[in-house]
Chain A
Amino acid sequence: MRIDNTSQSVAASSLLPMRPRHLAAQRLWRFLRGRHWTFRTGVVILVALVITLILAPWIAPHDPAVQNLIARLSPPSAEHWLGTDHLGRDLFSRLLVGGRFTVTIAMVTVLLSFAIGTLIGVVAGRVVGGVFDEVTMRIIDVLISIPDVVVAIFLVAIFGPGYATLIASLTVIGWTPFARLARGLTLAINAQGYIRAAEVLGCSRSFIVLRHVIPNIIRPIAAVSFLRFGHKLITVGALSFLGLGVQPPAADWALMLADAQPYVERLPILMIAPGLAIFVAALSVTWIGHGLEIEARDGDSGDE
């Protein structure tokens, strides 16, 4: 995208056979420099969020599960920064811990869907018109029309709530849009000269898929996966809200929203705080996706 950058990198790589090692912060800065602003902002928020969630048990000022019925529904104070909920639990501590479940589920689900969907889509796109392609596409047609909440309700009813059930139920539907996109992009790549060249040069099918097709379509798919992540975050929230996700007394953003319902007029922060947390997490990831999408559209840049 930027001509001066590429010419510099050519000079550098020919002069220095080994690339110098960098500190993590320097690497992050190089990674972010020159990217779209939504991408940069999204990455910064997401990194901060993930670090906070990982460290949550240690930085939470109170035990999120300890009830104090005398101090219930108290407004923000020096002791309880965001106040307490209807059982007198510290809202700030619950907020820190409550994101771990939702964010983990959404992340694992999207990663799984991304990997499964891309692989299936690319293979279908390479053997287009064949039996595998036909069968997969019909399965996708069926699956894509089923709402994932319905699948989740069904699976939770059979296996009971838990990490595995939720991830499984969201992935069963979740891979389909990735597969469709990957197949479409692969069809476009199939017509490229370098694929024909690889075939004539005698490269194996797996080589063509792994080294030519996937690297060239991964960017737009990654963009979509980030957009899907925000969507998954909200779905997981909705499932917890329906009582299919985290079980009380464990803390969870969506559960906190549900619990806050009767008290929203007395203490609106009970609902605003977890709502805002979901919103910020979803937004950061969506912005990363948006930034990636713009880069994918504007052409290749930053291979380093």
Chain B
Amino acid sequence: MNKTNEPLLVIEDLTVAFPGQPTPVIDGLSLTLNRGEVLALVGESGSGKSMTALSLMRLLPAGGEITGGRIRFDGEDVLSLSDRQMNRMRGGRMAMLFQQPQAMLDPTSRVNAQIAEPLRVHRGFGRRAAMERVLDLLREVGIADPAVRARCFSHELSGGMAQRVMIAAALSGDPQMLIADEPTTALDVTVQAQILRLIDEQRRKRDLATLLITHDLAVVSALADRVAVMYAGRIVEEGPAKAVLESPQHPYTQALMRCSLLVPDQSGQLLSIPGSGTHARELTCGCRFHPRCSAASQHGIASRCMRSEPALKPDADGHETRCWAVEPEKESAA
């Protein structure tokens, strides 16, 4: 098999459900992630973007179950791996960053011990070699005075420092893919920029495929090559970052763009999406966004939006949109 041309990660028709909930949290999601590429998965909380990340790591919360679809990572079927193999995969070729870095560090042991542990267990480093490697990694993620910081406990670190430590830990297994779940949401804006830059540098250096999960389009514009927008468990738009950010096709993406800018209109009002998407998954027919959609009525296609759900349709540049308004026969309206 020619490994270099094949995408690193292929998700096909992934469906994740929780028992007792009428509709799946993730509904027929398909995505690919190429080597060295940054794919941003964007959506509001509850859209299923974090669940997607957790399914990839096979770390769904109790009760959550992958009920359909396939996940192939570097030619391997992730869903059929044994727990042991999966465990090794998580510490090694797949790594993950979380929103609350301090909460992910064990408060009772020192930073160096936490990074060294997987090196020694999974990769057979000796004590000294592991400690050396830890210092190299800390230096690499831009921690000043690594020898001192290595002996700190997590509560002695600032939020930005803790996220750097988490990145060092993630890099320790030489991963091919990094899943970053809201890596900068809990950080101050100035530190945010530093962390994003660090992630960008590392992925260039290591040819690291990155799945970036966020609700902040500023973060997306800083880092992503491609963007997939999720709404209520489904992908509603996907394409190259430049295309999606500069000419978003789906009304939801357009609205999200306007919200993120925080720029008022002539009347002094910030543009917002009315209502909330909390119950959108429970819609049984039609487009899941139609109750909040302005385009649905503007285009005079409201009844169509209510009746049946559009499919994800690509345009010539591989920019896909799930909306009746961009269907070719209705094109003139857009």
CA distance A230 to B130 in the complex (A): 53
Q: Does A2 contact B (CB under 8 A)?
A: yes
Q: Is B328 an interface position by the 8 A CB rule? A: no
In the complex, chain A residues 1-18 whose Cβ is within 8 Å of any chain B Cβ: 2-4
* A25 → chain B closest CB, angstroms: 28
Identify the 4 closest CB pairs spanning chains A and B, nearest first. Answer: A4-B20, A3-B20, A3-B21, A2-B20
Residues of B within 8 A of A3 (CB): 20-21
Expressed in whole angstroms, the Cα–Cα distance for A166 and B262 within the complex equals: 70
Nearest residue, chain B, Cβ from A4: B20
User: Please, what's the 1-or-0 string for B11-27, where 1 marks a CB less than 8 Å from any CB in chain A?
Assistant: 00000000011000000
- Binary per-residue interface labels of chain A (204-225) against chain B in the complex, 1 for a CB within 8 Å, 0 otherwise: 0000000000000000000000
Q: Classify chain A: how many residues form its interface, as a range.
A: under 10
In the complex, A4 Cα to B21 Cα: how many Å?
Answer: 8
Q: Mark B139-174, 1 if CB is under 8 A from A, else 0.
A: 000000000000000000000000000000000000
Q: How far is the CB of B276 from chain A (nearest CB, A)?
A: 16
CA distance A74 to B77 in the complex (A): 75
* A/B interface sample: 4 pairs, CB < 8 A: A2-B20, A3-B20, A3-B21, A4-B20
Roughly how many angstroms separate A4 CA and B20 CA in the complex, as a whole number? 7
Nearest-CB residue, chain A, relative to B22: A4
- Nearest Cβ on chain A to B210's Cβ, whole angstroms: 34
A116 nearest CB across to chain B (Å): 36
Q: List the A residue with the shortest CB-CB distance to B21.
A: A3
Q: Which residues of A (114-170) have their CB < 8 Å from a CB of B?
A: none
- A2 proximity list for chain B (CB < 8 A): 20
C-alpha spacing A3/B279, complex, angstroms: 13
List residues of B (81-98) whose CB comes within 8 Å of A's CBs: none
The smallest beta-carbon distance between B215 and chain A, in angstroms, is 23
Q: Within the complex, what minimum Cβ distance (angstroms) separates B18 from chain A?
A: 9
CA distance A3 to B21 in the complex (A): 8
Residues of A within 8 A of B20 (CB): 2-4
Q: Complex Cα distance A3/B63, Å?
A: 13
> Nearest Cβ in chain B — how far from A23, in angstroms?
29
CB-defined interface of A1-43 with B at 8 Å, one 1/0 digit per residue?
0111000000000000000000000000000000000000000
Proximity bits, B34-68, A CB within 8 Å = 1, else 0: 00000000000000000000000000000000000
A3, closest chain B residue (CB): B20
In chain A, positions 273-302 with a C-beta closer than 8 Å to chain B are: none
Which residues from chain A contact B21 at a C-beta distance below 8 Å?
A: 3
Bound: A2/B21 CA distance, A: 10
Q: Distance (Å) between the CB of B29 and the closest chain A CB? A: 22
Residues of B within 8 A of A4 (CB): 20
Minimum CB–CB distance from B264 to chain A (whole Å) comes to 30
Q: How far is the CB of A7 from chain B (nearest CB, A)?
A: 10
Determine the residue in chain B with the shortest Cβ distance to A5: B20
Distance between Cα atoms of A2 and B63 in the complex (Å): 12
Q: How far is the CB of A173 from chain B (nearest CB, A)?
A: 35
CB distance from B23 to the nearest CB of A (A): 13
A3 to B20, CA, bound (A): 8
Query: Distance (Å) between the CB of B91 and the closest chain A CB?
Result: 30
Taking the closest CB of chain B, its distance from the CB of A10, in whole angstroms, is 12
Q: How far is the CA of A27 from the CA of B21 in the complex (A)?
A: 27
Minimum C-beta distance from A297 to chain B (A): 14
Q: How far is the CA of A292 from the CA of B97 in the complex (A)?
A: 36
How far in angstroms is the closest Cβ of chain B from A114? 33
**In the complex the two chains form, what is the Cα distance from A232 to B176 in whole Å?**
61
Cα(A3)–Cα(B281), bound, Å? 15
Interchain CA distance A2-B20 in the complex, whole Å: 9
A3 to B25, CA, bound (A): 14
**Nearest-neighbor residue (CB-CB) of B18 within chain A:** A3
Whole-angstrom CA separation of A116 from B20 in the bound complex: 42
Question: A210-269: which have CB < 8 Å to B?
Answer: none
B153 to chain A, nearest CB (A): 21
CA distance A3 to B18 in the complex (A): 11
**Complex alpha-carbon distance, A3 and B22, angstroms:** 11
Query: What is the CB-to-nearest-CB distance from A141 to chain B, in angstroms, rounded to a whole number?
Result: 28
Instruction: Tell me the minimal C-beta distance from B281 to chain A in angstroms.
Output: 13
Bound-state CA distance A206–B187 (Å) is 38
Separation of A69 and B20 alpha carbons in the complex (Å): 66
Q: Contact string, A74-95, partner B, CB cutoff 8 A, digits 1/0?
A: 0000000000000000000000
A85 shortest CB reach to chain B, Å: 54
Tell me the bound Cα distance from A4 to B282 in angstroms: 13
A133 CB to nearest B CB, Å: 26
Distance in angstroms from A3 CB to nearest chain B CB is 6
Instruction: Give Cα A197–Cα B21 distance, bound, in whole angstroms.
Output: 34
Shortest Cβ distance from residue B116 to the other chain A in the assembled complex, whole angstroms: 33
Give the complex CA separation of A29 and B20 in angstroms. 22
